Amino acid sequence: MPSEPLPGRRLTHVLHAGFADPQAGPSRRHEHAVLVDGWLGELWEAAGAPASGAALAAIGSLGRRDLGPMSDLDLILLVDPEPMGEEEAGALAARLWYPIWDSGTSLDHAVRSPEECAKVAQEDLRAAISLLDLRPVAGDVALVDEAAARVRAQWRRDARRFTEELIGIAEDREGRYGQLAHSTEPNLKSDRGGLRDTVVIRAFAESWLADHDHRVLDEASEVLLDARDALQTVTGRGTTRLTRADQDSVAGLTGFDTADDHLAALADASRAVAWQLHRTVRAARAAAAPGGRGTRGLGADRRPVLTRHPHGVIVQGGEVSIDPRASDPLRDLAAVRLAATSGMPLADATLSRLASGPTRSSLSALQRDVLVDALAGEHIGPTYEALDVHGAFGRWVAGWDGVRNRPQRSPVHRFTVDRHQIETVREAQAMLGTVDRPDILLVAALLHDLGKRAGSRDHAAEGAPLARAAALRLGFDASDADLVELLVREHLTLVELATGRDPSDASTLEALLQAVGRDLGTLELLRALTEADARAAGPAAWSSWRSQLVDHVTAQARDALTGTPRAPRDLLAPQRAVQEAVREAVVRTGGAQVLYPAPTDQEPITQVCLGAPDGPGVFAAQARVLARHRMDVRSAVVLTLDGVAVNTWWVTGRPSEQPHPTALRSALEREIRRREDPAARVLDVAPGAPPRTAEDAPVVTLLPGASSEATVVQVNARNRPSLLADVAEMITLHRLHVRSAHVMTLGQRAVDVLYLTDTRGRPLDAPMVGRVIAALMDAAAT
């Protein structure tokens, strides 16, 4: 051991130096690696290492020279077993590792010979990938070069054998972590399109099975690495999960005005990485397959069969290309159509040509029809990703760049705005046979969220004129563009009316009829677009009960427009039968009743119907019972039937996980008996988290014109176990009656629409409306 060991704290200083710089960048990371190398070189000298036969080498982030402020050190002591015995090597390793441990730095270490490195690379895929980054730091450089050469030679010999296992590692990670581009709290390292994928791509390049676009990958990697460095600087931890709480600070350190702008840049970079991984995997599989060639390139046969298609489209080696000599105006879009309908990928050269071609002022009618055919293709998703990564899609769709890679803060959404619109197109494909203008449905699905730009407040209203302009440029005439504009403006209306308004109120039907211009074809298009949009958003946005509500109000409007009313139809007939059974039981017994209807699907949602003689405080008593039993309310429909409060609630969990009906009935009777006792209203549930941002603050809104028979108020607040009970209790304190209510929970947000009357069943007067709104704001914020 040296007589004066290097101070460990100086290593910590070296590791963290320079990362307060707003944008570290590749040059700063390289300088940082040089500093760390210098400290390790001093340590090597102080440890009394021999001049030859031993070397200190780096792998991992230090080996790649992209070390972050909180990165671990991955070091290997390479030894030649001939001049240096095992005991001597162990002593040298101790003199190297202990000062690093004393500094508090995390260290992954090993002692190996070059032969052992090659053997490890042969037996352990993950270790082999790490050893590909082997780089000399101090000592005998020739020994490191020998080890690196052995590892690379072994890697290339085993590449075909390891191909599927390496692909499996990447695919397994996507299943466990998700896609970085579409996450609002991305894992910069492990998500699909993250830093681990860049390592896999480069490992394939080292195998000579497949290469990649080095410039694109390097640029995307730098964006991700800058974010990682800023995140670790902000948090002081080695985390790679960019949580919402840190996004503003990280955006500032990386030079972005807002967190959303930074997330958009990360999405762009991760999509580029994901695309490079996709094409690399495709090439490696082709090269590793029997008859393939294990050299750089796409691994196709030497003389692939060439097939010509109409309009200058060519299929060669399983890829769609265009003939650059063809002047057919349908050529480019016909190639996209073939890719979207067949699943064959567009060739890289073709994608580059599509991206670099001139932007047309508008498409012809024939070009429009080809594009619509492409939107109807079952492979439009991967085709879009290929076009998007190359910047080609915006050539055809006006306004697309404004939503490209824009993050969505809504918890129900799974994708960025642009990809959500593509997913909506995919969902709409299943409903093309239900509408008289399937082309309009596909285009409205493609354009419905164009208004979700930075700073937008009402994306439906703001996006409608943008969609009209885009439709005109896509080759639709003015009347069709007007229809697209209407559908985009109203694409939220149907679900809002169905889930947030009283379907039995005449104003609800009238609002829907006005929204569709009293046109049956428009109604059917809106119904299809509504479902496609919700399904594309995610499971939380579309469920069986929501589908039933939407179908009910749509059927009411359909009957009104056709003028041929069918047999009288109750609101959700199965639900009505349950409500009627509960009402009869309440009338017969004079007490509270609870019924769990038989589940109708496999969703982890339970329907429970609570009934009791109506009166002040009954709604609040039912809400308290559910809160006390920790039943998480996802939605509710509150009704009064012939003097009986019959309220249907949908709660999280399967029926087997819910309290027994007898327990709920006893609790409900107790709550109703004690509803006048202030002490009984105190809930023993944990309070909700305080608002973190202005977006979390509650909003209480009067909905004028929603009903002529009641005052309709919407409470939009961050959800918590006692929210509904607190809101209901405030209504009771003001001696108001809840004629009906529609409760909905989306992610962490609750949206409750309340139909309120005074004790005489009349809408509230203006002074009372003001007092109630203020009181509900307080209740929702508690």
3-state secondary structure of 780: helix
In-domain check, residue 465 = yes
Same domain, 651 and 744: yes
Same domain, 542 and 649: no
Q: Is the pLDDT of residue 270 over 50?
A: yes
Same domain, 114 and 164: no
In-domain check, residue 680 = yes
Give yes or no for a contact between 660 and 606, defined as CB atoms under 8 angstroms apart: no
pLDDT band at residue 300 using 50, 70 and 90 as cut-offs: very low
In-domain check, residue 375 = no
pLDDT score for 573: 54
- Look at the alpha carbons of 250, 254, 255, 256 in this order and tell me if their dihedral is positive or negative: negative
pLDDT score for 494: 95
DSSP assignment of 536-586 equals HH-GGG--HHHHHHHHHHHHHHHHHHHT---S---TTHHHHHHHHHHHHHH
Mean pLDDT lowest among 34-43, 293-302, 517-526: 293-302
How many C-beta atoms lie closer than 10 Å to residue 206's C-beta? 16
pLDDT by residue (tens digit) across 636-661? 778 888 889 998 888 888 888 899 99
Give yes or no for a contact between 344 and 319, defined as CB atoms under 8 angstroms apart: yes
Same domain, 41 and 133: yes
pLDDT score for 695: 58
| CATH number of the domain bearing residue 442 | 1.10.3210
In this structure, what token pair is assigned to residue 138?
Answer: 């101090």
* Distance in angstroms (rounded) separating the CA atoms of residues 2 and 47: 6
* Distance in angstroms (rounded) separating the CA atoms of residues 367 and 380: 17
369 burial level (CB within 10 Å; 0-12, 13-18, 19+) = middle
Amino acid at 770: G
Closest CA to 658 of 602, 596, 611: 596
Same domain, 649 and 729: yes
In-domain check, residue 624 = yes
**Could you give the C-alpha distances from 69 to 62, 63, 233, 240, 758, in angstroms and in order?**
11, 15, 7, 12, 63
In the chain, count H helices and then E strands.
29, 15
| CATH number of the domain bearing residue 91 | 3.30.460.10
Quote the DSSP letter at residue 685: S
pLDDT score for 289: 78
Same domain, 230 and 123: no
717 burial level (CB within 10 Å; 0-12, 13-18, 19+) = buried
pLDDT score for 568: 47
Which of 523, 553, 569 is at the close of a domain?
569
pLDDT band at residue 12 using 50, 70 and 90 as cut-offs: low
Same domain, 114 and 199: no
DSSP assignment of 689-708 equals PPPSSGGGS-EEEE-TTS-S
pLDDT score for 297: 43
In-domain check, residue 211 = yes
In this structure, what token pair is assigned to residue 189?
Answer: 């390292």
39: containing domain: 8-157
Same domain, 152 and 247: no
Give the strand pairing for 593-595 and 711-718.
unpaired
In this structure, what token pair is assigned to residue 598?
Answer: 């038989």
DSSP assignment of 117-157 equals HHHHHHH-HHHHHHHTT-EEEEE-HHHHHHHHHHHHHHHHH
pLDDT band at residue 582 using 50, 70 and 90 as cut-offs: very high
Q: Pick left, alpha or beta for residue 561 (phi over 0 → left; psi -120 to 50 → alpha; otherwise beta).
A: alpha
pLDDT band at residue 340 using 50, 70 and 90 as cut-offs: very high
In-domain check, residue 494 = yes
| CATH number of the domain bearing residue 269 | 1.20.120.330
Which of 569, 592, 620 is at the close of a domain?
569
Q: What's the mean pLDDT in 505-530?
A: 95
Closest CA to 629 of 678, 686, 685: 685
Amino acid at 320: V
Give the strand pairing for 711-718 and 749-757.
antiparallel
Task: For residue 127, report the phi and psi dihedrals to the nearest 5 degrees.
Answer: -65, -40
Tell me how many domains the chain contains: 4
Same domain, 145 and 173: no
pLDDT score for 1: 40
Give yes or no for a contact between 6 and 40, defined as CB atoms under 8 angstroms apart: no
Same domain, 619 and 767: yes
pLDDT score for 500: 83
Q: What's the mean pLDDT in 231-257?
A: 92
* Distance in angstroms (rounded) separating the CA atoms of residues 635 and 649: 6
27 burial level (CB within 10 Å; 0-12, 13-18, 19+) = exposed
HEC string of 607-657 equals EEEEEEECCCCHHHHHHHHHHHCCCCEEEEEEEEECCEEEEEEEEECCHHH
Q: How far is CA 390 from the centre of its chain?
A: 22
Give yes or no for a contact between 205 and 211, defined as CB atoms under 8 angstroms apart: yes
pLDDT band at residue 9 using 50, 70 and 90 as cut-offs: low
In-domain check, residue 60 = yes
Give the strand pairing for 749-757 and 737-746.
antiparallel
* Distance in angstroms (rounded) separating the CA atoms of residues 713 and 774: 12
Which of 261, 288, 315 is at the close of a domain?
288
Same domain, 441 and 565: yes
Same domain, 153 and 124: yes
Closest CA to 397 of 477, 320, 471, 452: 471
- The model's pTM: 0.78
Give yes or no for a contact between 685 and 628, defined as CB atoms under 8 angstroms apart: yes
pLDDT band at residue 25 using 50, 70 and 90 as cut-offs: low
In-domain check, residue 539 = yes
